[in-house]
Structure 1
């Protein structure tokens, strides 16, 4: 490290400067470990081989905390002009104007974003050039209470069984925050409207079968103590936290892929893995073979309609 508080980090073919690496982003206390910006950089550099396949070619929304998790939060869509030219960008034009999103295709970009205190990386479910053709469908299992993870585990089992019945593979991930995500790989031939409609119908049929435990009610006051089956990520320009991204919470929990068998662990919770051990968990390849089994929604839609009619 130089005298001016700058550390140089080799990431792929580039050398990236990390400024104030000793700056605390995750204060310790209350049983949580303290982590610095340097720790965040080291985590993302080690996670890069496992994380980048989930980021490449996808527009990002960056959740930045320049003063740490106790300071202000910035949700950044537009890429600042100060970012290096070698960082990829993609423009999205809407009625309100043009947004220039950051795209993270390599480890150097990942390290640079960590230096910018981009703690959490929220990715699109579609890729550049096919923005309205999602290749991921995400169900967010959001418990009524953060302490009720048993309800999350049970909802995941029920949803996974229904998706199996529909012929759709699914992968599990802790969110690092409250619940679990179930991700279904798609072949990218359907648009967001069709994908969202399908996800909504899946959630509704499951909630109708278990009305005392599950709900699709968007308003919290209408949910009671039932778990919310949230399908809102499945829309154009919406984002979902990327696998192995860090959450802005004490202890630096990480959104971490897991095996279906790990649902049987009564000690499982949304923040089970942190930057200290998430890479080790992911190296066990919990999603082995799942993401390569992309499906079309046509056959699944016919099975779902038959199930609803029965």
Structure 2
């Protein structure tokens, strides 16, 4: 099995932090053991950058022309045909993403063998402002509400401003049903508030949110993607979407961008395991 050839290893992606394409490539190789269980067999949309991340990038769903034959792939239906998408199923593929300048892989909530049956549901708590403490408390309330419905929540700081609350599902319902259930859940969560505070909204338009946290469930729709666990983000200091132990949400000092490309490995070493290691074993059928 040939190694992935890395070109332009010294190209700066995060110049202020001195982080290069080589750093991204090595990072993907190092976190493969914990990242792969969360991305394997899921079609990947590539968020790629040909220069430093501050200059902007582009999304690519179709597997790039000239991609090596050994890459796993899936044909994903789209209107009028299909699109060939990457499956990031091994360490070598993650490093190939680094070679492509893919800073942030985004993945389906369903696996390629049954794209019509999601096995994850994600609630994205997206703040209107910078009050992350409110997001943290909202995530705890979201977890309580999911447990009340027989589902087991897992939390992830996104490396941006918010929190994703994820649950594992048995593959019994189509994506349209999962989205409908998630919308109903989000409405109930927003109406209930957080400890008596009116912190949440399901209003799509920003001008209608009144500074409240948007309970976004749109990523649960058919053929939608979410940022992959352990994916770096194209933001200053290279923050990483980082899975949490649930009790870490109790810490008022928690930040959404607390862990970076250079610090996640130390975190994993200190914890001794991926906080989402047992997620798949908690899968339940979506409640009616």
TM-score (normalizing by structure 1): 0.88
* 2:285 aligned with 1:296: yes
* 2:216 aligned with 1:233: no
Residue 161 of structure 2 aligns with which residue? 178
Query: Are the equivalent residues in 1 in contact too, given 2:54–2:235 (CA < 8 A)?
Result: no
Query: Are the equivalent residues in 2 in contact too, given 1:24–1:68 (CA < 8 A)?
Result: yes
* 2:238 aligned with 1:252: yes
Q: Select which of 19, 23, 27 maps to 2:15.
A: 27
Structure index of larger Rg? 1
Query: Are the equivalent residues in 2 in contact too, given 1:27–1:250 (CA < 8 A)?
Result: no
Aligned-partner Cα distance in 2 for 1:16–1:287: 28
Q: Over aligned residue pairs, what C-alpha RMSD do you find? A: 1.3
Residue 58 of structure 1 aligns with which residue? 42
Residue 74 of structure 2 aligns with which residue? 90
Q: Residue by residue, what CA displacement relative to the aligned partner does 1:88-124 show, whole Å, maximum 9, x if unpaired? A: 1211232243211111111111111101100000000
Aligned-partner Cα distance in 1 for 2:42–2:164: 19
Greater Cα offset, 207-216 or 250-259: 207-216
Query: Are the equivalent residues in 1 in contact too, given 2:109–2:120 (CA < 8 A)?
Result: yes
Residue 205 of structure 1 aligns with which residue? 188
* 2:151 aligned with 1:168: yes
Q: Select which of 89, 96, 100 maps to 1:116.
A: 100
Query: Are the equivalent residues in 2 in contact too, given 1:14–1:108 (CA < 8 A)?
Result: no
Query: Are the equivalent residues in 1 in contact too, given 2:9–2:20 (CA < 8 A)?
Result: yes
TM-score (normalizing by structure 2): 0.95
Greater Cα offset, 38-47 or 286-295: 286-295
* 2:136 aligned with 1:148: no
Superposition deviation, residue 267 in structure 1: 2.0
Residue 30 of structure 2 aligns with which residue? 46
SS of the equivalent of 1:17 reads coil
Aligned-partner Cα distance in 2 for 1:286–1:64: 27
Superposition deviation, residue 288 in structure 1: 4.1
Equivalent residues in 2 for 1:271-286, closer than 5 Å: 271-282=257-268, 284=271, 285-286=274-275
Query: Are the equivalent residues in 2 in contact too, given 1:59–1:103 (CA < 8 A)?
Result: yes
Structure 1 runs not aligned, ≥5 long:
1-12, 302-310
SS of the equivalent of 1:159 reads helix
Residue 136 of structure 1 aligns with which residue? 120
Residue 187 of structure 1 aligns with which residue? 170
Superposition deviation, residue 78 in structure 1: 0.4
Structure 2 runs not aligned, ≥5 long:
none
